[in-house]
Amino acid sequence: MDWNVYGHEWAVDLLSSHVAGKRWRQAYLFVGPEGVGRRTLALRFAQALNCTQPPEPGGYCGVCRDCRQIAAMQHPDLSLVVPDEGHQDILIDQIRDLQHTIALAPYASAYRIALLPDFQHVTDQAQNALLKTLEEPPDKVILLLTVNAIERLLPTVISRCEVIRLRPASIGDTQLFLHETRGLEPEQAALIAHLSSGRIGTAIRMAENPEILASRQEGIERFLDLLPAKRYERFKAAEELSKSYDTARTNAVEAISFWLSFWRDVFVRASGTALPLVNVDLAAQVEETAAKLTESSARALVIAHEEALQHLDSNVNVRLLLETLLLKWPQLSVAAISK
């Protein structure tokens, strides 16, 4: 069965067999890291459920009106639930609105689909409200939830879903996929495969949007400039990243995510493990930095950056958080990147 989903063939086989045999569950929980293909697989499943001219049992055509509208997430029987503007989490009122909608018969297709992506961003009250629907779902309604970490959800919610755990592809398979299907040169394909850590969705976005790698290159140069910088220079960098209220949090997430990936690479080398680097194009800088740090100090830097990303989910002062984090960096000079 070809759902145009790479690396999750077992999940496609399982879900297509559910459709073909008309024995699906009424709630599915797709679990995996961001960019691994959770939402894509959920939408393919929704297409297979509602396709009006499937090429085979459990398949979807991709060209009928239902398939096209579901792919665009604009189908009248597809309800998309994401946090409202200005909020970080899905709230209980949104779940109540969803319950009113899915109580109605499908308008244009065989089944109503409720898609709740990134459902880890949800209040406990909203989860408890959804639990009633999971326990007594309306007829002809399928709920599709995606999360990056199952631990954020209530056990009672998890137990009422069919859990589909998605894992990244291997670096080698991702590189081959990019080379054969996207036409990337081997060196570029290898870099993106490592940067995406085998998350095919992330790899495709990087391949299709050159500005992502261009922005990363700027971030690398800024990072290497900051490593030997004095305190006032680091404070200035924190000010620059957080000076715009509208983009401060986004800028901070992007910067800290890259910093974290570098310090993780340093920790990998400092600890002597054989895990592959993420920033393979910075191998020389990683090796040089790891030689100057102890394993415990590298580990502490990784933990500090992970905690900083977690704090960004709450209402923190972004500039103060960045200043505090930058003060934890060692003051080191490393080789510049080759142009």
Q: Are residues 101 and 232 in the same domain?
A: no
Q: How confident is the model at residue 1 (pLDDT cuts 50, 70, 90)?
A: low
- What is the full DSSP assignment across 68-85? HHHHTT--TTEEE--PPT
Q: Which of 260-264, 291-295, 312-316 has the lowest mean pLDDT?
A: 312-316
Q: Are residues 115 and 183 in the same domain?
A: no
Which stretches of 9-154 are DSSP H helices? 9-20, 38-50, 65-71, 92-102, 124-135
Residue 94 CB-half CA count within 13 A: 23
Q: What is the pLDDT of residue 101?
A: 95
Q: What is the three-class DSSP state of 36? A: coil
* pTM for the whole structure: 0.85
Q: What is the pLDDT of residue 4?
A: 83
Q: Give the amino acid at 140.
A: K
Q: What is the pLDDT of residue 274?
A: 87
Q: Are residues 14 and 157 in the same domain?
A: yes
Q: Taking a C-beta distance cutoff of 8 angstroms, is the pair 98, 127 a contact?
A: no
Q: Are residues 134 and 247 in the same domain?
A: no
d(CA 256, CA 252): 6
d(CA 116, CA 90): 9
Does residue 129 fall inside a structural domain?
yes
Nearest 5°: the CA angle 253, 260, 154 is 65
Q: What is the pLDDT of residue 216?
A: 92
Q: How confident is the model at residue 59 (pLDDT cuts 50, 70, 90)?
A: very high
Q: What is the pLDDT of residue 339?
A: 53
Average pLDDT (334-338) is 73
Q: Are residues 257 and 202 in the same domain?
A: no
Domain of 249, in residue numbers: 215-327
* pLDDT at 85 > cutoff 90: no
Average pLDDT (117-144) is 93
Average pLDDT (80-105) is 93
Q: What is the pLDDT of residue 238?
A: 94
Q: Are residues 238 and 153 in the same domain?
A: no
pLDDT tens, position by position, 283-301: 999 999 999 999 999 999 9
pLDDT tens, position by position, 201-225: 999 999 999 999 999 999 999 999 9
Q: Are residues 76 and 155 in the same domain?
A: yes
> Which CATH number goes with the domain that contains 48?
3.40.50.300
Average pLDDT, the chain: 93
Does residue 203 fall inside a structural domain?
yes
Q: What is the pLDDT of residue 246?
A: 76
Percent of the chain at pLDDT > 90 equals 85
Q: What is the pLDDT of residue 315?
A: 76
